[in-house]
Each structure stands twice: as C-alpha cells, then as structure tokens.
Structure 1
Amino acid sequence: MALMLQAAPLAAPGGSMYRQVLDPLAGSLSWSALCAALPLLALFVLLGVFQVRAQTAALASLVLSLSLAVVVWDMPLPQALSGAVEGGFYGLFPIMWILVNALWIYRMTEITGWFAVLRRSFRTISSDQRVQGIVIAFCFGALIEALAGFGTPVAITAVMLIAVGIAPIKAATVALVANTAPVAFGSMAVPLTTLAGVTGLPLDDLGAMAGRQTPLIAAFIPLLLVFLLDGRRGVRETWPVAVVAGLTFGCAQFVAANYISVETTDIIAGVVTLATVLGFMRVWQPRTVQRDPEAPAEADSEDREGSGSAVMSFAPYLIICALFALTQVGPVKEWLAGHGVAQFTWPGLDVESPGGEPAAAMTFKLEHLKAAGTILLAAGLLTMALYRVGPGRALRAYGATLRQLRWTVVTVTSVLALAWVMNLSGQTATLGTALAQTGAAFALFSPIVGWLGVAVTGSDTSANSLFGVLQVTAAQKTGLDPVLLAAANSTGGVLGKMLSPQNLAVAAAAIGMAGSEGTIFRKVIGWSLGLLAGFALLIYLQSTPVLGWMTV
C-alpha cells in the first residue's frame, strides 16, 4: 500500500538543543577549520600513504570526527551518535541499495552467458581497447549517470571494461575519471534541482551556467582516458576519436542546458555523443590495435565468446534506461512523488545552524518507490524473465553479490556517517566559511568548496545541499555573481567524485578487488587535483572581465 508520511519532529533526549558554532577552537575560525579538516586528512592519508583498507580508514576517521564533534564543537554525544546512524542508514539506502541491484543485474548477465555476447558486441565497434574505453566509460557511462547516478555508472562500466580485456585496476581508474563531466546533470539533474531548492536561484539559470562550465571538462576527459589506458602513444594514435567524443559531448551539453532542458541534458549529450562516435568509427580506425598487456589472458580468448543477439545482450541496460525514462513521464512522475514517500525528522536530533535555522540534515526523506535502487530491482526482475533465470538461481546470484559487497557496505556506511557527523556538528560549515573569508578571490576557491563536499559525501547532490547557501551568501558579501558561484559548487564538485571513499569502494567492489581502494586512490588523486586547479582558474576568470562574457 502506498505510504505518505510526514512525521512530527522528535526532540533529542532530554530536550537539549544543539546550535552549531563556526569557531569553537579558541574563537578562531582558522584554527577551527584546520581542526575540522583533520578527519578528512586522516582518511586520505590512511588510504593514500599508509595503504590502510578503506573500511578501516573510514571507521578511524569517523571516530576522530565524533571525538572532535563532542570535545571541540561541544555537540552532545547522543546527538553525534544519532547523526552517525542517520548517515550510515543513508549509506545503505539509497547508496548500497543501488549498487547491490546494479551488480546483481550484471551477475545474471554473466551466469547466463549474455555478458560474453555484450563483450563481443563492443569489440565489433572497435577491437582497440582505447576506443572501447571511450565508448563504454565516457559515452555509455554518461547515459547511466543521466538516469541513475550514485555510483551506478562506475559499477557497471568498470565491469564492462574488464570484460573487453582491460586490467581491473586500470578499468576502475578509467571508470572513475570518466564519471565527472555528466555528474552535475546526473539523475535527471537532481544535483542542480537540489541546488535551486536550497538557494532559491532559478533552475534554468543554474543549468545554463553549469552548461557553460562542464563542457570544458568534457572536452578533455576522453583524451585523459586514452592516456590512462595507453600513455602518450594512446593520445597520439587515438586523439581523433577522443576529440570527437569530447567536443560532441561538450557542445551537446551546452546546447541542451541553455536552450532545451536542464533535466534531459545528459540524456541528450550521451545519445548524441554515442551516435556520433559510432558513426565516426565507420570512417576511421586507429592505425594499430591496442590490447592491455596487464589483462588476464582469458579476456582475449575468442573461443570463450558467447553467441547470440547483440540487442539481447544490451537488453538489461535498455530496460534500465526505459524504466528510468518512464519515471520521468508526467503522470508517473507525479504519482511517484505523491506515494511511497516517508519524510521525518531523524530521532534524537535537535540541531540548529549558526543562524538559528533547523539543520537540513535532520530531515530524512525515504523514497522507496522512486529510488534508483528500486527501479534497478524492477529491471533485475524483468531481466530474470527475459533471460529465463529461475528464482533459485537468481537468489543465489543475489546472495553472491551481497557477499562480494560485504566490506563495501562497511566502507560506504562509515563514510556517510562521517559526512553526517561533520555536517550536523558544524565541522563542514566551519571549513566552508573559512574559505569564504577570502573576499573577491573566493571565486578561485568556490569550486574547491564543492570538491570538498563531494570528496566527503560522494554525492554532488549532498555537496550542493551542504554548501549551496554558503556559496550564495559569500557571493553577496563579496559582490560576485551568486549564480556563477552556486553553479561552480556543483561543477567543481564533480572533480572530487573520483576520489570519494564511497566511490572508491564501489569501484573496488565492482572489479572484485575489495581492499584495493588505496591503490585506486593513488591513481586518481593527481588527476582530480590537477583538473580542480585548472577549473578553479576558469571560474576565477569567469568572475572577471577576461572570461566574464561566458556567463552572460
């Protein structure tokens, strides 16, 4: 039975209310910000330097954040623990709910042999793995991001890259780096819709501004992917298709975001780019064919390939696209919005922002019917019927998926618990506010704030919820354009997604190498920081007459 619940707020134990403080350490915002950064620094150092397993690093950082919340920010321990539980539950639903069902669908295609057919189908486009990386991770991944998001593109494309013979760690790295340009408009533009909701700025204005920023990221990503796959030789030999893919996606994003529809931007860009690349490959192929020398030998064995219809091998992904598209149809979208939604104040929390407003993170919205994971579950059931997978076999596949993801569950729930503790205690606000003290130069730091939010939460939507108002407030105080800085929070944030512990855990689980998050982290952090530096300079120049014409 459909359920619509709006629960009354539940007070914290003892009726104690906690108000966030921005400068709890000796009354200094700077020292407080350095203190607030410690859990993040600990997380990244444990992962990248000491190569600690992700679940251990995440738990250690969570304990540190809880300690700082109670000792430095003076947050009541019961409320800090309640906030951690809320974040952990969000890690289970919707994040892990999406990942489990996405990988379950993949596992069914594998046990029925259809994934081998899919691998063969991609090889018919081109037998060159650098081209396959662009088609799978960039083009196909953008379509999945447009519909699902929340790590689904990384999980699916990483597995598909391994299937065409790319080594697992390299496949995970490519999938993570590719999952950047589409993210701001992902999940039918939910990040920007959320940003418009929290800031009060028009969605069309935010979408148009983002459409003048993310295309510049998109233009470089395919070139970066072929470099990751084959170094300078890869760029030298496959730059034509990389340039075609990047420019096509960027131009399509710009046109769709500015003149068609913000919500359908990634769908339009993904479809146009995929069609363009497929057409281009009919008239051009690289001079030499590249195979990954690190790939398992069986990946190249043609006699292991399955036989069957290419359409049938793509069917689960076509079903996913169709179901997500159906949820955006007017009557269906309205029905889902009015049914199956539970929204309530999380028990045990009574938190106010420094300005005295109720903290947004106290409210938990459970959308079990329209959740991406639920739609993927429905797609899995249809895949069962299409591939004639019996209930017993399907349940065994589901159980195997859960076993594969057991440590990923620990990592993701711990990271989201960390994010919620930092948000509710005021640690995140302290970090953002400290950066906002730089005056007109804040335009240079604006995307860094969004990057920080996504690096912590793994979600551009969450980063916009955390820092959207901060960006607008800072813009008003410094005389900068609020739309420019708010959009930069989202577009800069996407560059932090590749090194978010949540997404690292998703990638490691997808390639069957849970525990390799530190290795993957070291592969992507340089690219994340390098792209962020260039993008921050772009936003700063857009705030000046040098590139101000791009924002008009």
Structure 2
Amino acid sequence: MYRQVLDPVAGSLAWSSLVAALPLLVLFVMLGILRVTAWVASLVSLALAAVIAVAVYGMPFGQALLAGSEGAAFGFFPILWIVINAIWVFRMTVETGHFDVLRRSFARVSDDQRVQAIIIAFSFGALMEALAGFGTPVAVTSVMLIALGFKPLKAAVLALTANTAPVAFGAMATPIITLGKVTGISGDTLGAMVGRQTPVLAVFVPLVLVLIVDGRRGLRESWPVALGCGVVFGVAQYATSNFVSVPLADVVASLLSAVAVVALVRLRGGGRPSSAPVVSPEFAERGARPDSRADVVRAYAPYGIIILVFVICQVPVVKGLLDKATYTIQWPGLHLLSPEGKPSSLPVFTLNLFTTPGTQMLVAGVITMIALRLAPPRAVRAYGVTLHQLRWAIVTVMAVLALAFVMNASGQTITLGTWMAGAGGLFALLSPILGWLGVAVTGSDTSSNSLFGVLQVAAARQAGLNEVLMAAGNSSGGVLGKMISPQNLAIVAAAVGLNGREGDIFRRVVVWSLIFLLALCFLSVLQASPVLSWMVP
C-alpha cells in the first residue's frame, strides 16, 4: 500500500513541484530542442519519473512498476485500439483505389489548398473527433492532405492545429461526461459552459490554418471563407451544446461548417486568385477524369458507415446491451491511497469491450471491407501494414501513458496541480493551464478531466470562484494541449511518414498552442470577473 505525498521535498509544495515537473521538462526539451525521437524521449522521461517516484516520493518500486504497466495498457486500450482501427479503414480505401476518388471529390469543391485545409483538417477533422477522437482526426486528415499535394510536415502541422476547438466535445462528449462524473456537476451545465469558451477559439482556428498554408497573402485572400467557417462552427457548437445536445455539438458544428465552406466557395464563383497554392499538376490532370457515381458513393461509404455505426451504438437500448460487456478490474497488486488516506480510483481499469469507439471502428471496418468488395486476405494484409506503420507510435503512446500513470500514482501530478491551486483569485488565470498540462502529458482531455476535475472544483471553492467555470476551464484549456502531446505527435508523424521528426512538428505547433492558451486564460479571467460573468450558466 502506498499513500500519495504532496510535498516530499523539504515539506515545501513549491520545491516539490519543481522536482515533479522534471520529467515533463525533459520530455519537451528532448522533443523540441534536442530533436530526439519521440519514443526515445518518452522512455527516458518515463525512467526519470519512476526514479523520482521511488527516490523522492518514497513509492515502492513494485508499485511504480505496476502503475506504469496500467498506464501502458490504457495507452493500448482504448487509445491505440481506436487509432489502429481508424487507420485500417483508411488503408482499405487506399488498397481499393477509392481514396483517390475521395480526394478528387474534395478537389472539385476547390483546388485552392487554403480552402482544402479548412474543409478537411477543420470541418472533416471535427467530424472524426466527434465520432472517435483519441488521435483519429490527425491521423486521417493529415494523410488526406498529403494526397492532395501538401508536404508531409505542413500536413501534420495543419492536422494538429485544427484538432483543438472540437476536442472537448470529442467522442460524443466523453471528456465532458467524465468531468461531470468526477466533479458531481451536471454534464449539461458543464457542456453549456465549455460551449461558451471553445466556440471563441473555433472562430480563429481556420484563419490560422490559412496563415500556415500561405502566410499573410493567404489570410488576405481567403479570410472570408476561413472566418465564415469559424463563425458557423462556433455558433453551431454553442447553440447545440446549450440548447440541443452536448454529445452532438461537434457533429452538428462540423457538418454545418463544411456546408458553409462549400456555399462560400460557390458564392465566390468557384474562382480563386491566380497566386493561390493549388494541387500538383499531376493530381489536377487525374482530377479532370470524371468518376462514376457508383465509385463516388463507395468512396464516401466508409465514412457514412462509421457515422451510422457510431450513431446506432449511441441509441440507449443498443448502448445498454453493449454495456453488458463492460468490466471493471482492480489492477493486480496496485494499492494506492490519496494524500487524505482514501482509496485511489487510479488502479481501477475499465475494460469496455463493445462501447469503446475502437471496437465500433473495427465493426465499421468489417462492413467497409464488404462495401468496397475487398477480399478478406487483402483486408488482413492492410491491417498488418497499419500495425507496421504505427509501430513506433505504439511504443510512444504506451510509454507516455505509463509516464502519466507513474506521475499520477506517486503524487507528482497532484503536487503540480495543488501548487497551482494555491494561487487564490489568480487561479482563474491558471485553471486552463492546468487542463493544458494534463492533456499535454496524457494526450487526452478525458484523462485530464479525470485527473484535475476535482482539484479545479476544490480550488474554486477556496478562492471563491465559480466551480462550473473552473471545471469547464480544465476541459477548454486541455484542448490546446492536444497539439503538443507526444501521443498525438507520434500518431501524426507515423501517419505522414515522418517517424523520428516529432520534434520538428512540435516546434511548429507549440507557438500556436501557447497563443491560443493565453487567449483562453484571458477569457477565463474575464468570465470570472463582472465583465463577462453573464456568460457563466
């Protein structure tokens, strides 16, 4: 039995926080400055976290090892289980040639790469986030962008940057539902509050995508489409989360934003400035050949099948039946107490065999195999190719989640959070940063909400701040940590064929992550003050 400690270094929370932050500091320095491969940086940081847990926090070595093993298992199931099956569906469309048809269809909307970045990375990526989440959008959309002529590094940066505003409502609002469970606050209330924060970010994300694609010239020439997409997405996300359904917020917003992009392009007469970056001449030539209606239907079929499978699985009766295959397991040998001496929930591992998006994606893959008339041996071979493609990403994700669990179990993460929570009224400024930190480490807004949700509420009470606002700030701030998470960096690097260059990707997205984070912190402070307190439900 191990009881978590908050201040093992000289009884000081501040000094203990400095030591607890070392594994994260080493991880990001190795990635961003030393350009070390993600899986190597993750394993080194994991080893350092384990040493600090044992030598500084006094955690028994066996307990630290078991905590790491649970984290690695969680990294594979459900996170990698989702990504592997999502990429497999994509591989099958490539195998059958239907992905070429799909990209030609996207190109017909506009051959302007700035518009393509918006509709694919932002709108289509948001739909993938709504249905599956956990790294699926960046993997799928980055490859689609490459197929349209984008360079791998730029495709990766665009996919990661776009995967921000939709994250809090991803996987049918799983992060917000989880936040509601751990804090005891209504999920509808939390969803409404998040729906009054992330839509503000959504307005600007497409503008940033255009800036990444084509600099200031792109912003000057394409801002009406970008701004229109962002505004429609933001308004739809706000309206749906506040007045219709929290789980459907991203579904509605993504579809309406895509319609808005198409409408705005049509209003411009389909024209574009002659200086606009376009698809390669080779692709443009292939795109001139018309595809049959049957081929187009089959090209879109996998994504229609995914939507249909996920929607059916959300039907209460079906979901109830699938939930019967959910098992709660006490991780063998791992015995933890919180700093207050209460049993920790960390050793409880949930094995939701059928309700996890990964299994539902697998079912959608099997149906896709039939719809695309792909022989089972070829489908199995495509699965093998997917595993080989993601091999280093698998190591990285499992190592990062092992790191997160060791830090959580030993008390290192709680030390950092408690130290920040002692900021009093300034906590309104720091609340989103805490969520950002949680997602940067775990790669999951759901995990960050599980980790820091209760802490946010407790800090709000101590500082006399609104509990709903601080809890929602954890989830909203967390979405901005997604793009710098080693987990997501590894997934997107594997998808675009840049294994070992995660550091290059990190350096290109970290600035946008910090800019958006500062903006959200400022919004949080204003919402905690009389200026914008009317925005809090």
- Aligning the two structures, in what range does the TM-score lie when normalised by the shorter sequence? over 0.9
> How do 1:272-311 residues align onto structure 2 when only pairs under 5 Å count?
272-284=256-268, 285=270, 287-288=272-273, 299-302=283-286, 307-308=291-292, 309-311=295-297
Q: Which residue of 2 aligns with 1:446?
A: 431
Q: How does 1:35-46 map to 2 (within 5 A)?
A: 35-46=19-30
1:69 shift after superposition: 0.3
- Residue 456 of structure 2 aligns with an amino acid whose one-letter code is Q
Q: Distance in 1 between matches of 2:354 and 2:188?
A: 27
Q: Which moved more, 1:298-307 or 1:341-350?
A: 298-307
Partner of residue 327, structure 1: 313
Q: Secondary structure at the match of 2:499?
A: coil
Shift of residue 91, structure 1, vs aligned partner: 1.0
Structure-2 residue corresponding to 1:79: 63
TM-score (norm 2): 0.97
SS at match of 2:350: strand
Corresponding residue for 1:95?
79
1:135 and 2:119 are equivalent in the alignment: yes
For structure 2, the 5+ residue unaligned runs are none
1:383-421 Cα offsets, whole Å, 9 max, x none, are 111111111111111111111111111111000000000
In structure 2, the residue matched to 1:220 is: 204
- Once the two structures are TM-superposed, the CA of residue 302 in structure 1 deviates from its matched residue by 2.1
Change over 3 Å in CA distance of 1:517–1:289 after alignment to 2:
farther
Say if 1:36 and 1:427, in contact at 8 Å, map to a contact too.
yes
Which residue of structure 1 lines up, in the alignment, with residue 374 of structure 2? Answer: 389
**Matching residue within 139, 145, 154 for 1:161:** 145
SS in 1 for 2:328: strand
**Residue equivalent to 1:244:** 228
SS of equivalent to 1:452: helix
SS in 2 for 1:282: helix
Taking a change above 3 Å as real, the CA distance of residues 356 and 270 of structure 1, as seen in their structure-2 partners, is same
**1:322-471 → structure 2 map (5 Å cutoff):** 322-337=308-323, 339-471=324-456
Tell whether the 8 Å contact from 2:42 to 2:400 is kept in structure 1 after alignment: yes
1:381 match: secondary structure: helix
**Which of 316, 321, 327 is the matching residue for 2:302?**
316
Contact kept, 8 Å, 1:346 with 1:363, in 2: the verdict is yes
Question: Distance in 2 between the 1:68 and 1:471 partners?
Answer: 25
Change (3 A) 1:290 1:52: farther
Q: Which deviates further from its counterpart, 414-423 or 269-278?
A: 269-278
Letter in structure 1 aligned against 2:304: L
Q: State how far apart, in whole Å, the 2-side matches of 1:357 and 1:166 are.
A: 52
Letter in structure 2 aligned against 1:92: F
The Cα offsets for residues 86-120 of structure 1, whole Å up to 9 and x where unpaired, read as 00011111111111111111111112111110010
Distance across 2 between alignment mates of 1:385 and 1:290: 43
Does 1:55 pair with 2:39?
A: yes
Q: In the alignment, which of 463, 466, 474 is matched to residue 481 of structure 1?
A: 466
Distance 1:358 1:364 in 2: 14
Is 1:231 aligned to 2:215, yes or no? yes
Residue 220 of structure 1 aligns to a residue in which SS?
helix
What are the equivalent positions in structure 2 for 1:141-220 lying under 5 Å apart?
141-220=125-204
Give per-residue Cα distances to partners, 1:36-84, cap 9 Å, x unaligned: 1000000000000000000000000000000000001111100100010
CA distance in 2, matches of 1:298, 1:68: 55
The offset of 1:452, in angstroms, is: 0.2
**Conservation of the 8 A alpha-carbon contact between 2:218 and 2:276:** no
Match for residue 21 of structure 1?
5
- Is contact 2:112-2:277 (8 Å) kept? no
Instruction: Give 1:492's aligned residue.
Output: 477
Q: Deviations over 1:140-193 (max 9, x none)?
A: 111111111001111111111111111111011101110110111111111010
Return closer, same or farther for 1:291/1:163 CA change in 2, 3 Å cut-off: farther
User: How far did 1:509 drift?
Assistant: 0.9
Q: How many angstroms apart in 2 are the aligned matches of 1:49 and 1:255? A: 42
* Counterpart residue type for residue 424 of structure 2: G
Alignment check: 8 A CA contact 1:165 1:300 kept: no
Report how many aligned residue pairs link the two structures. Answer: 534
Measure, in 1, the Cα distance between the counterparts of 2:281 and 2:518: 39
8 Å contact from structure 1 (residues 471, 482) kept in 2 = yes
Partner of 1:365, secondary structure, is strand
Whether the 8 Å CA contact 1:166–1:292 is kept in 2: the answer is no
Which secondary structure does the structure 2 equivalent of 1:263 belong to? coil
Kindly indicate whether the alpha-carbon contact (under 8 Å) linking 1:117 and 1:306 is maintained by their aligned counterparts in 2. Answer: no
Question: Counterpart of 1:21 in 2: which secondary structure?
Answer: coil
Equivalent residue number for residue 547 of structure 1: 532
- The normalised TM-score by structure 1 is 0.94
SS in 1 for 2:267: coil
More displaced 10-residue stretch of structure 1: 509-518 or 489-498:
509-518
Name structure 1 gaps, 5 residues minimum. 1-16
Do the aligned partners of residues 52 and 297 (structure 1) sit closer, same or farther apart at CA in structure 2, a change above 3 Å counting?
farther
Once the two structures are superposed, what CA deviation does each residue of 1:335-374 show, in whole Å capped at 9, x if it has no partner? Answer: 112x211211111111011122222211000111121111
SS at match of 1:343: strand
Pairing 1:256–2:250 present:
no
Is 1:519 equivalent to 2:531 in the alignment? no
**Mapped contact 1:464–1:489 kept (Cα < 8 A):** yes
Change in Cα spacing, 1:366 to 1:291, as seen in structure 2 (3 Å) is: farther
Aligned alpha-carbon RMSD (Å): 1.5
**Alpha carbons of 1:29 and 1:318: their partners in 2 closer, same or farther (altered >3 Å)?**
same
Partner residue, 1:3: none
Distance 1:177 1:306 in 2: 33
Q: What is the SS of the residue equivalent to 1:288?
A: coil
